[in-house]
Structure 1
Amino acid sequence: MTVEQSTNRPPRRRPVHGATIGIIVLDTGFERLPGDVANAMTWRFPVHYHVVTGVRPQDVIEGNPEKALPAFYDAIDRLTELGVDGIATSCGFLAMVHPQLRAYSSVPVASSSLMQIPLVLQTLPVDRTVGVIISDRKSITDQHFLNVGAPVDLPLGELAFDGPIRANMRNNAARVSYAAQERDAFQTVERMLAETPSIGALVSECANLPPYSRAIQRTFGVPVYDVVSLVEWLHAGLRPRNFHSEPLP
């Protein structure tokens, strides 16, 4: 007996089966390496993607993301109509409209990797804090953090404006160098830890940083959380592991 049968809920209409998570992707053209939220090879489970055509990263980061809400609402509708049980996005700055996305959606929404900050803080010794790696310091505001229940006084580390990660994003580079982008991320983390030795864990705002999370953790010895860990956490609740000898439906 399925959960829907046992609770007398009618089964949802699902024209596509087997993918629990839907991911809303901004309109970009740069290469997405494995580990990036918009590279399908990143995931250990199938996902559905929906691109919000015409909504670029700069529209969300530097502009007013509320203007793009109709496009995000349409994406939520299309993904839920396909049958997904949870939705994520591909930019941490969408924390600015998290309350609106959450209010609109009929399924759980993980809009920003910043949502993990309160939980990560609670895991750390009391004399340690969370450092946040961001892609644009001048555009981040207190409201981004408040909207996801995070404190506003955390140490921030900004990726260099002219570094390969941000330059590749701005220029929609069709080919990117993993090694160059990894060095870029390392330099940001090294500066952060030198400035704030009390950092006990890192959260990456930028959804393009997960390809380097493992290398950052191994090099600097601190836990690293990102959009991939957020989506995997969301999926774990929506599809818990099966420990029964007989497979559940």
Structure 2
Amino acid sequence: MPIYHARRGGQSYGHDIGILLMECWNPFPPGDVGNASTYGYPVLYETVTGVTIEALVERGETSAIEAMIAAAQKLEREGVKAITSDCGFMLAYQDTVARAVDVPVMMSSMLQLPFIASLLAPGAEIGVVCAHAGSMTARVLDMAWPERNRTVHVAGMEEQPAFRRGILDEEGVLDTEAVEAETVAVTRAMIEANPKIRAILIECSNLPPYSAAVQAATGLPVFDFITMIDMVRASVARPVFTGRY
């Protein structure tokens, strides 16, 4: 057996990905960033006091910077190999957190936009499905992709009743079948209005449970928080293959 040494400041071991959570009262079904069963590897959660859906998603406020840094540094002390978040609008904290820790940081699924564009033919467009379209401003898109060189269309879920009740209004009950239907409908409507869309990015961390349904309904590549987290995790904690070929 190998010899192990205690890590100063660490209280637990073996976590590959650290996840910064906003303060909210939402159920997280399997497939959601906030459900640990979503992952085939260990993750560690840390809630950031003062970051809420109303403040961040609906009003675009980026307060609680010190709390965000402290939470990220705590995850790093616990030994995580990379850090993410549970809201695409935490993109506003990307540079702040990246400067505060020495592990890879991916605060938003929106960071995948340049990569997605590199996969597509010139002239192909990208559709983004987000929690709140009014908050997905050009400034937010610029933070994710400063040298944006193709059209990005945005469709929001804020007017969808099941999503609104379960996520934005935090009523504590989530009808996953209804939210899946709403997500597919919103995506289809965006594509029908913009037929040059060739890939979909799901911004909201609560929507990956429905990405497969969106993919099946549209026939397009679908990216979300989980595609990003899985990719980065593979880069920092690749499994060792020991079987015979």
TM-score by length of 2: 0.90
Partner in structure 2 of residue 5 of structure 1: none
TM-score by length of 1: 0.88
How far 1:41 moved relative to its partner?
1.1
Partner in structure 2 of residue 81 of structure 1: 77
Alpha-carbon separation, structure 1, partners of 2:49 and 2:185:
33
Partner in structure 2 of residue 166 of structure 1: 164
Alpha-carbon separation, structure 1, partners of 2:144 and 2:218:
27
Aligned residues: 238
Alpha-carbon separation, structure 2, partners of 1:192 and 1:11:
52
1:35 maps to which of 31, 43, 50: 31
Pairs within 5 Å for 1:54-133: 54-63=50-59, 65-133=61-129
Gaps of at least 5 residues in structure 2 are: none
1:211 maps to which of 196, 209, 212: 209
How far 1:101 moved relative to its partner?
1.7
Aligned-residue CA RMSD (Å): 2.1
Question: What letter corresponds to residue 195 of structure 1 in structure 2?
Answer: A
Greater Cα shift, 129-138 or 167-176: 167-176
How far 1:245 moved relative to its partner?
4.8
Alpha-carbon separation, structure 2, partners of 1:68 and 1:93:
14
SS of equivalent to 2:47: strand
Question: What letter corresponds to residue 208 of structure 2 in structure 1?
Answer: P
Alpha-carbon separation, structure 2, partners of 1:54 and 1:96:
15
Partner in structure 1 of residue 197 of structure 2: 199
Please state if 1:149 is matched with 2:145: yes
Alpha-carbon separation, structure 2, partners of 1:130 and 1:82:
37
Does the CA contact (< 8 Å) of 2:108 and 2:203 recur in 1? yes
Gaps of at least 5 residues in structure 1 are: 3-9
Question: What letter corresponds to residue 190 of structure 1 in structure 2?
Answer: R
Residues 29-73 of structure 1: CA distance to partner in whole angstroms, max 9, x if unpaired? 111111110011111111000111332112212345432211111
Question: What letter corresponds to residue 131 of structure 2 in structure 1?
Answer: S
1:45 maps to which of 27, 41, 45: 41
